[in-house]
Amino acid sequence: MALQNINPTSTNAWQKLKAHFEEISSLHMLDWFDKNPNRAKDFTIKWEDFYVDFSKNRINAETFELLMELAGEVKLGDAIEKYFSGDSINQTEGRAVLHTALRARPDYDIQLDGNPVMPEVIEVREKIKSFSEAINKGSLKGSSGKTFTDVVNIGIGGSDLGPAMVVDSLKYYQNNLKPHFVSNVDGDQVAELLKDLDPETTLFIIVSKTFTTQETLTNANTIRSWFADKLGDHAVAKHFVAVSTNLEKVRAFGIEEENIFPMWNWVGGRFSLWSAVGLSIAVSLGYDHFEGLLKGAQSMDDHFRTTPFHSNIPVVAALISVWYNNFFEAESEAIIPYTHYLNQFATYLQQAVMESNGKGVDRDGKSIDYQTGNIIWGEPGTNSQHAFFQLIHQGTKLIPVDFIGFVNPLHDNWDHHDKLISNFLAQTEALLTGKTDKEVLEEFKGQKADDITIGRTLPFKVFRGNRPTTTILIDSLSPESLGSLIAMYEHKIFVQGIIWNIYSYDQFGVELGKQLAGKILKEIENPEFEIHDSSTKNLIDYYKKHKKG
């Protein structure tokens, strides 16, 4: 069954939220904290080892209830059931969206066109398990009998960002295999990678859902030629494996049958790290950790599917995000993890969120006149504090921030960790409370500053505060907790897509640039000419005239 088609702006809740926004948009959160000593508790959700504090957001009890009403009016509950039950909710591509099946327990009963999905999922899971264990134990070796030391994932977009982020985030759990990722069609990236690799001890995983992606196939061909030059064509079979839905093209590339890991059309690239796309995760962290990641995601799936909306983390996070996006007209959201391990988390989320919800046509095929997908950006704290926090604290833009922190560090550097967490907590407090003229004046007086200095600099030292943050505090960074965290954001994306009445699981917006690049490549290679605007034509000419190759 298809998703319902409900314009959110036509709902009663939306109209009420508009009026409510006028009433409360100029109020300071601090007044709400003063009036309600239970505010922090009222807006905190404790779930497993997650403690999620939404209280430093520009919402009060009424906002919260109106947002819940909005979820009801757009029939979110019905949509969630369709999502989990394998309905064709990716309607523009005629597909189900079942990344939740990839991490589901084996007894999960889900049928697609009358066929159960789980047996195939389990079969591939078993294949990932036996392959990664054989690599890790050293029973599967390279062509010259040497144990593998390095693994290279060749893929781009969802076939790169998810696995790369997970492998980097969980490097504490890494085994002896050194992971590498090559994605860009930029030949300099692949050249730098190959400089340090020993072909005899390197495993290459080509990951491409379609097996037609220019970047991935170019890199795979370059690497294969480099490899065959060194060890001969006959050695390829022992070193190259592939993950794809396009088995014909994989075979044509010359990958051995037993080295092919299938995936399915009902998994979107940006949600595919739970499938064999995550093979680099399983081999470089060990299968048990890969399974831990799946388990963590699965628990979040249960939470999302079964918890009433009021205490449902992805639902609340998504509704608050809609509140800022559509009523406060906030353009972006920052994701700031206070662990350097999650260095690539915002980059990963950029694809997940922006490729999913960056849409301007609704489910009725009509142009949308309200805002959809948020711009996602971020860097780990505390580095980001010394880079762009100035703008978040005192700039003119409203930027809701997710602060993600861990109670326990992975290495016992408590001196560092206490400092890290003090910063984590201090930033959310500073963004909430700010600093008034009066407080700045008091501070000046304490420093015995003269009147001229005070007059000259006081306004610049004032912080208005009232800047929204959500604090996500997790016990520690583990495969399980990371799995839950990623799934939390995946479901937040889903909920927002439902509210905005868009299709979150296609990505037609990436196609035009690809088509034009194909045409321009032909013109670079030979004198034929297509019609271009004068700027593009001049640039092509300039490039052709000046290139030395």
Q: How far is the CB of 525 from ligand F6P (least distance, A)?
A: 22
Nearer to ligand F6P, 118 or 267 (CB): 267
Which residues in 198-227 contact ligand F6P (CB under 6 A)? 208-210, 213, 216
Set 234, 386, 448, 547: catalytic member: 386
Q: How far is the CB of 493 from ligand F6P (least distance, A)?
A: 14
CA distances (Å), origin 280, targets 149, 167, 409: 13, 8, 25
CA distances (Å), origin 483, targets 44, 99, 111, 273, 480: 21, 13, 24, 10, 5
Binding to ligand F6P by residue 373, rule CB under 6 A? no
Reduced to 3 states, what is the DSSP secondary structure of residue 348?
Answer: helix
String of DSSP letters for 240-284: EEEEES-HHHHHHHT--GGGEEE--TTS-GGG-TTTGGGHHHHHH
- Are the C-beta atoms of 380 and 339 separated by less than 8 Å? yes
# residues contacting ligand F6P (CB under 6 A):
14
Nearer to ligand F6P, 46 or 514 (CB): 514
Tokens 């005192």 belong to residue = 394
- Are the C-beta atoms of 60 and 32 separated by less than 8 Å? yes
Binding to ligand F6P by residue 100, rule CB under 6 A? no
Binding to ligand F6P by residue 307, rule CB under 6 A? no
Set 215, 355, 480, 490: catalytic member: 355
Set 18, 514, 522, 544: catalytic member: 514
- Residue 514 a catalytic site member: yes
Element (H, E) at 239: helix 236-239
Binding to ligand F6P by residue 270, rule CB under 6 A? yes
- Are the C-beta atoms of 2 and 78 separated by less than 8 Å? no
Binding to ligand F6P by residue 183, rule CB under 6 A? no
Among 86, 142, 269, 483, binds ligand F6P (CB under 6 A): 269
Extract the tokens encoding 243. 């993950």
**Alpha carbons 106 and 125: distance in angstroms, whole number:** 10
Q: How far is the CB of 209 from ligand F6P (least distance, A)?
A: 4
At a CB cut-off of 8 Å and minimum separation 6, what does 494 contact? 79, 80, 83, 314, 318, 504
- Residue 546 a catalytic site member: no
Nearer to ligand F6P, 20 or 180 (CB): 180
Binding to ligand F6P by residue 510, rule CB under 6 A? yes
Q: Hey, which residues does 154 pair with through a beta bridge?
A: 182, 206
- Residue 355 a catalytic site member: yes
Binding to ligand F6P by residue 158, rule CB under 6 A? yes
Which residues in 326-365 contact ligand F6P (CB under 6 A)? 355
- Are the C-beta atoms of 483 and 49 separated by less than 8 Å? no
Number of helices and strands in the chain (H, E):
24, 13
Nearer to ligand F6P, 55 or 159 (CB): 159
Among 142, 157, 292, 314, binds ligand F6P (CB under 6 A): 157
Q: How many CA atoms lie within 13 A of 232 on its CB side?
A: 5
Nearer to ligand F6P, 469 or 507 (CB): 507
Q: How far is the CB of 166 from ligand F6P (least distance, A)?
A: 15
Contact range with ligand F6P by CB under 6 A, out of 75-83, 117-125, 152-160, 315-323: 152-160
Binding to ligand F6P by residue 159, rule CB under 6 A? yes
**Alpha carbons 280 and 271: distance in angstroms, whole number:** 15
Nearer to ligand F6P, 446 or 513 (CB): 513
Contacts to ligand F6P by CB under 6 A: 156-159, 208-210, 213, 216, 269-270, 355, 507, 510
Task: Supply the residues annotated as catalytic.
Answer: 355, 386, 514
